[in-house]
A and B are shown apart, each in its own frame.
Chain A
Amino acid sequence: MSATPLLSIKNIEVIYEQVILAVKNISLEVAANSVVSLLGANGSGKSTTLKAISGLVHAQRGEIADGQIEYLGEVVNHSAPHRLVKQGLVQVLEGRHCFQHLSVEENLLTGGYIHRPSKAKLNAQLDNIYGYFPRLKKIRKSLAGYTSGGEQQMVAIGRALMSDPKLVLLDEPSMGLAPQIVEEIFEIIKNLRDNHGVSFLVAEQNAAVALRYTDYAYVLENGTISDEGTAQKINQSGELLASYLGR
């Protein structure tokens, strides 16, 4: 990995409602220009880790009780989500969370307001997104709530990309989607990394797909990291399988 990582987490511990210990001793890094995945079974703490980074845990009665999160070399344990988005760190929530009663285009627009762009710039940004997801352009006037699961995932990712991020935290992009669409989405991720300098930290249960597109992976088990390494190493070690089977 490169010398100064984009994101570096040291030994964090997250507690919900002052008593529920969700993750502990999590350390991980995301280098610039990379796709890193965070693998693990249900309840292993993937979403919690991502929300700790993006600052969203605070909105869910969670707190980072211990450890340190550094983004671009700065400690961001207590940063508000909108400040982080402004600095190029944005999360795509698990379950897509589109604004159901807003049109597809309005959904995308909401993601672009953070830098207070001019109208021309905002439209140029929209065109970029329609370039990545041509399908969205055809349905831009539809209410997001009435589009298909795959389209909603594209809206959610496109909306995050509108803020022109350096690092996207992507929570279970494959959830509930047909294999072909999952593939399509990971191809776009790869393209963004290769050609546009966007890095990703992807939480996935679908390890098989994620590992094919991943530079480096961490395996989460019961709230702590049980294994890490290159995709090849993770594939070979038994840890991943064991974590899903719960030993």
Chain B
Amino acid sequence: MSFFFEVLVGGLLAGVMYSLVAIGFVLIYKASGVFNFAQGSMVLFSALTFVSLLERSYPFWLAFVLTLLIMLVLAWVIERWVLRKLVNRSPITLFMATLGLSYIIEGLAQSLWGAQVHGLDLGINDEPFEVLGLLLSQFDLFASAVAGSLVIILSLFFNKTRTGIALRAVADDPLAALAVGINLQRLWLIVWGVAGFVGLVAGLLWGARLGVQFSLSLVVLKALPVLIIGGFTSITGCIVGGLIIGASEKLAEIFIGPYLGGGIENWFPYVLAMLFLLVRPAGLFGERQIERV
């Protein structure tokens, strides 16, 4: 039984890592209705920039701040030169644009920093340690704490600050937001900046886990089932979706895997997401239209 809980808790903690990536999607989707395929490249780009700066012996905090600044510049360039040209286009056009962007960002990362694999050490050792009789990964606990703080900060931002409330307004009704004098371009810039920050945090944690390499941009694929289960519009949904995916894939691997020859961890989340699509297309926390006249 304690083994079961160990797997469960381990899975939950690992799931938080997926949530981190999913949050970046939700931010941009809420503010502009765009499914930003380039989020994965942003995760890669930020992690790569960060380690490259570390390797050039910048101190940790300076590398973090510089990377963040670079992500903000990237956000500005994207808003100014891509999104602004495409306002009022159909969602599929915007999606295609972000698909193109993802290649450009990856190419940029490669030409700036080279294509080799970098190790990233955040100084947290990954030795398991014991909590309440369960052996847990210290790194996973750290990642969860980071994700938890991020969620609290974001929810304060969205509910208490003027910019946050304006962002929710834009997510609800962009035309009305324009009509009351909200400057959409400024808000897009902010939201891409925040998504860049979240991408940086995700990039550091994933980079520390997997090594900083080009396959890092594929973590987006892991975020997809999380989004489908949690809903594309809810940060809470990201967390819950991540927990569900993390826990169920680990449990499935350990307890069902042996009967199916193992390796089910890789496809199980997608099957689960498909089942959710059938039952609850808007996801667990997705906002459905309020019907009322």
**Chain A interface (Cβ < 8 Å from any Cβ of B):** 54, 56, 59-61, 80-82, 84-86, 90-93, 97-102, 106-107, 109-111, 113-114, 143, 145-146, 149, 159-160, 162-163, 176
Interface contact A97-B179, CB-CB below 8 Å: yes
Interface contact A99-B182, CB-CB below 8 Å: no
Whether B106 sits at the interface, judged by CB under 8 Å, is no
Interface contact B173-A97, CB-CB below 8 Å: yes
Interface contact A110-B166, CB-CB below 8 Å: yes
**Chain B interface (Cβ < 8 Å from any Cβ of A):** 87-88, 162, 165-166, 168-169, 171-183, 287, 289-290, 292-293
6 A–B contact pairs at CB < 8 A? A61-B88, A85-B181, A99-B176, A99-B177, A106-B165, A146-B292
Distance in angstroms from A126 CB to nearest chain B CB is 13
Q: Which 9 A-B pairs have the closest CB atoms?
A: A85-B181, A145-B290, A97-B176, A114-B181, A99-B172, A82-B181, A111-B180, A99-B169, A82-B183
Q: How far is the CA of A61 from the CA of B90 in the complex (A)?
A: 12
Given A160-B180, A162-B180, 8 further pairs, Cβ under 8 A = A60-B88, A90-B179, A90-B181, A97-B179, A99-B173, A100-B290, A102-B165, A114-B181
Interface contact B175-A93, CB-CB below 8 Å: yes
Interface contact B290-A101, CB-CB below 8 Å: yes
Interface contact A85-B172, CB-CB below 8 Å: no
Distance in angstroms from A42 CB to nearest chain B CB is 18
**Which A residues lie within 8 Å of B162 (CB)?**
109, 113
Distance in angstroms from A196 CB to nearest chain B CB is 19
**Which B residues lie within 8 Å of A109 (CB)?**
162, 165
A106, A110, A160 interface centre (most CB from chain B within 10 Å)? A110
**Which B residues lie within 8 Å of A56 (CB)?**
175, 178-179
Closest residue on chain A to residue B293 by CB atoms: A149
Interface contact B88-A59, CB-CB below 8 Å: yes
A90, A107, A113, A176 interface centre (most CB from chain B within 10 Å)? A113
A86, A91, A97, A107 interface centre (most CB from chain B within 10 Å)? A97
Interface contact B179-A110, CB-CB below 8 Å: no
